Structure 1
Amino acid sequence: MTPPLRAVFALLLVALTLVTAAGGLVVDNADLTPAEVKLLFAMREYTLTYNEYADRLPGWVTGPFEDEKVNLYVTSPDGVLVIGITFHDRKIVQFDAKGCPDPIVTVTTDSGTVEGVMVSDRPFDTFRAAMRNGTVTIEGNNLLGVLRSGMVRFGLWTMDVLRL
């Protein structure tokens, strides 16, 4: 094996190791419009930042969905993009542009709100404001999902009442 070929091979092994160590974030595409692809990949990039800080978020926010699947319905002028999000240990490990079967909850919002959260200096507060003004809704799909999403809504309401 020549030295340049060995270097390329070594870099490939390092890259594969880093992907595995990072949790192997996967994005599974369906037939998407260019705007939907752009949003999906922006969310993927933002997820890397989210995952770094997930352990710092309140447990009542991330805990109820730490090992669950959630469907995110994002409305736009192009229609509705359904993104299945799989969490493991409070971190996002997979996006699926076809949605997840049997998600615990469904979150509905618009593309502007998703983009606003991603570019915000205070994304948690931006998300809270979107919940308050109704541009983000969370709906449980089964009894456990109803209870867990209710816990999150109650926590956000309590923060608002206490002005935290």
Structure 2
Amino acid sequence: MTPRLRTALVLLLAALALAAPASGLVVENADLTPAEVNLLFAMREYTLTYNEYADRLPGWVTGPFADETVNLYVTSPDGVLVMGITFHDKKVIQFDAKGCPDPIVTVTTDVATVEAVMVSDRPFDTFRAAMQNGTATIEGNNLLGMLRTGMVLFGFRVMDILGM
């Protein structure tokens, strides 16, 4: 082996050793607390469950946002974590820890509500209860978002009136 090749090999191995994480997952966004990182990855994992469940949700809930982006603001004692969610054909296709530019709506809630929805056997009902008790809100960010949000909120009211 020539000295030049040996030097190149040593530099390559050193670069790989320095680049490889010592213990598992590395998150580069230093602004996230460990609790927020855990919540972020739990939400990403829950996306698989949501996508299986999405077809069972009422069309008036999923339809207005079927091919849109939504920002989820999750409040905690540490601050506010913004998560961008991109939907296509009622399914979550992208999850962004930094939020989405120009989302159609913003959903605001707290960590406890997000966790309750994720572990619930009836996540739609759990979210609806959070809307009723004020721990979750939906706000349209533009005219189309306001109209679509109004349609969803109207549907929730009808369900309440009918006792569903």
Aligned amino acid, residue 30 of structure 1: N
* Cα distance, 1:52 vs structure 2: 0.9
4+ runs deviating over 4 angstroms: none
Whole-Å separation in 2 of the counterparts to 1:48 and 1:30 = 24
- What is the RMSD computed on CA atoms of the aligned residues? 1.2
Give the aligned partner of residue 35 of structure 2.
Answer: 35
Mark the runs of 5 or more structure 1 residues left unpaired by the alignment: 1-27
Match of 1:139 in 2: 139
Where does the alignment leave 5 or more consecutive residues of structure 2 unmatched?
A: 1-26
Aligned match of 1:23:
none
**Structure 1 residue aligned with 2:88:** 88
Aligned to 2:70: 70
SS in structure 2 of the partner of residue 99 of structure 1: coil
Which has the bigger relative contact order, CA under 8 A and spacing at least 6? 1
Change (3 A) 1:140 1:45: same
Partner of 1:153: 153
Matches within 5 A, 1:1-164: 30-31=29-30, 32-164=32-164
SS at match of 1:102: coil
Task: Give the number of equivalent residue pairs.
Answer: 137
Residue identity over aligned pairs, in percent, reads: 82
Letter in structure 1 aligned against 2:142: N
- Once the two structures are TM-superposed, the CA of residue 29 in structure 1 deviates from its matched residue by 6.7
Distance 1:99 1:50 in 2: 19
Larger radius of gyration: 2
TM-score by length of 2: 0.81
TM-score (norm 1): 0.81
One-letter amino acid of the structure 2 residue matched with residue 41 of structure 1: F
1:46-90 alpha-carbon deviations (Å, 9 max, x no partner): 110110121111000000000100000000011000001000110
- Measure, in 2, the Cα distance between the counterparts of 1:40 and 1:154: 30
Distance in 1 of aligned mates of 2:46 and 2:106: 20
How has the CA–CA distance of structure 1 residues 29 and 127 changed in structure 2, closer, same or farther, with 3 Å as cutoff? farther
